[in-house]
Amino acid sequence: MSPLLKKVAGALAVKEIVDRVQEARRPKRSKLSRAVPFSLPVALAAGAFYLYKSGRLDGLLGKASTSEIEPAAYPTGPAMGEVEGTITLPESQPT
């Protein structure tokens, strides 16, 4: 091999070693900081699903439930057979 080629190969080897040492000394991110970008959307989706299933999401969004918007289909008073006593109608007055 020529002396110039030996010098170039040596310089590349030294550069590679220096790069590896610098990479090893660089501070690494913790496992938690590496996992947060992936786990945050999952946690938000799980929380929204929980609020939806428990019925608390309507309260947070300011929406009224359907029972407050629509009136009852039938009156909630007593049934005809449950009324005790007689009902008296006022007598009509002759004019």
pLDDT for 73: 67
Buried b (16+ CB within 10 A) or exposed e, 74-83: eeeeeeeeee
* pTM for the structure as a whole: 0.36
What is the band of 22 on the pLDDT scale with cuts at 50, 70, 90? very high
pLDDT for 44: 92
Q: What is the pLDDT of residues 25-40, one digit of tens each?
A: 988 888 888 888 889 8
- Determine contact, residues 85/79, Cβ cutoff 8 Å: no
What is the band of 6 on the pLDDT scale with cuts at 50, 70, 90? very high
Closest CA to 55 of 66, 44, 45: 66
